[in-house]
Structure 1
Amino acid sequence: MITMIAAAGENNELGKDNGLLWHLPDDFKRFKQLTTGHHIIMGRKTFESFPRPLPNRTHLIITRNKDYKKEGAVVVHSMEEALKISEKDDQPFIIGGGEIYKMGLPFTDKIELTRVHGTFPDADTFFPSFPEKEWLLISEVEHEKDERHKFSFSYQTWVRK
């Protein structure tokens, strides 16, 4: 099962200037819990936004740059190549950014979407729209804003029909 995992605003905003638009510690914890032990597929800019590789995960970086190399990661040049390398993983995760999500959507069986309840007009990166008639929302858990979370949000799990 190929899973896409993302946090997006009400208008599918993901980020700006290769960074996030919010700080949601509980969402970070959930991301870590779900992706630990799995292959994570991402674009070069997403990988380079991390201070260091994320522990206990196999990093697959998709880039057009044939000369790109990164210690601690496997560099590939297509979504198909990334998925082939991760085929022994029962649940590889596509983790972004915007272009990688678009490339990965046709291959995706499940979407773990944190829907951030807010709009972010400065965003420059977006999660792709997905036709909800092709997907079934099987779980939704609300998280209210609090002293650690400036925005309320919902954990949504979608599966392809």
Structure 2
Amino acid sequence: MISFLWAEDENRLIGKDNQLPWRLPADLKYFKKTTMGHPIVMGRKTYESIGKPLPGRTNIVLTRNPAYMADGCEIFHSKEEFLLWAQLIEEEIFVIGGAEIYHLFIEEADQLYVTKIFEQFEGNEYFPKINWENWQLISKELGIKDEKNPYNYEFRRFIRKQ
């Protein structure tokens, strides 16, 4: 099962110069709790922005560069190569970015975990447009706005309609 996990603002913005355009510790905690123990898939730029493999998860980096290496990560060079591997995995696999990787796998996604931030930020990376007719909301939880988490936000989970 392939799931997407991301945070976005009101305009589908997900990044600014390979970084998150906001500081929202509750979302990082949600990310860690949700992905822990599961494989996570990311593009090379996302991996390099994180800077190291995330502990407790199989880290998978997708890159077209055949010479690319990253200690502690599995490297795949094509969507097809990754999907062959993914067929052998019986657990949920999380695609965590960036925009190009989300776009590449949108047809394969079974579940979406979205942190919706009710603000507008400046940036240059947007989540691909989704046909929401194909998705059913199965849960949503309002996040707690406080001194550490200064925005209104909500955790939403969708499954693909059959």
When normalised by structure 1's length, the TM-score is 0.95
Check conservation: 1:25, 1:149, Cα contact below 8 A.
Answer: yes
What is the deviation of 1:118?
0.7
78-87 vs 60-69, which moves further: 78-87
* 2:103 alignment partner AA: K
Q: Deviations over 1:110-135 (max 9, x none)?
A: 00000011112x21001111111111
List 4+ stretches of structure 1 deviating above 6 A: none
Residues 102-113 of structure 1 aligned to structure 2 (within 5 Å): 102-113=103-114
Q: Distance in 2 between matches of 1:46 and 1:31?
A: 15
User: Aligned pair 1:54/2:77, yes or no?
Assistant: no
What is the deviation of 1:141?
0.8
Q: Distance in 2 between matches of 1:148 and 1:20?
A: 16
Q: Distance in 2 between matches of 1:157 and 1:69?
A: 33
Gaps of 5+ in 2: none
The equivalent of 2:42 in structure 1 is 42
Change (3 A) 1:37 1:83: farther
What is the deviation of 1:51?
3.3
Q: Deviations over 1:81-139 (max 9, x none)?
A: 2233233141000000000000111100000000011112x210011111111111111
Q: Distance in 1 between matches of 2:22 and 2:38?
A: 25
Q: Deviations over 1:39-81 (max 9, x none)?
A: 1110000000113210011111111111111111111112232
What is the deviation of 1:26?
1.2
* 1:131 alignment partner AA: N
What is the deviation of 1:144?
3.7
* 1:44 alignment partner AA: R
Q: Distance in 2 between matches of 1:81 and 1:154?
A: 34
The equivalent of 1:115 in structure 2 is 116
Q: Distance in 2 between matches of 1:51 and 1:43?
A: 12
Q: Percent identity?
A: 40
Q: CA RMSD in A?
A: 1.1
Q: Distance in 1 between matches of 2:103 and 2:37?
A: 24
The equivalent of 2:30 in structure 1 is 30
Check conservation: 1:9, 1:119, Cα contact below 8 A.
Answer: yes
Q: How many residues align?
A: 160
The equivalent of 2:8 in structure 1 is 8
* 1:73 alignment partner AA: C
Residues 134-145 of structure 1 aligned to structure 2 (within 5 Å): 134-145=134-145
When normalised by structure 2's length, the TM-score is 0.94
Q: Distance in 1 between matches of 2:131 and 2:154?
A: 19
Gaps of 5+ in 1: none
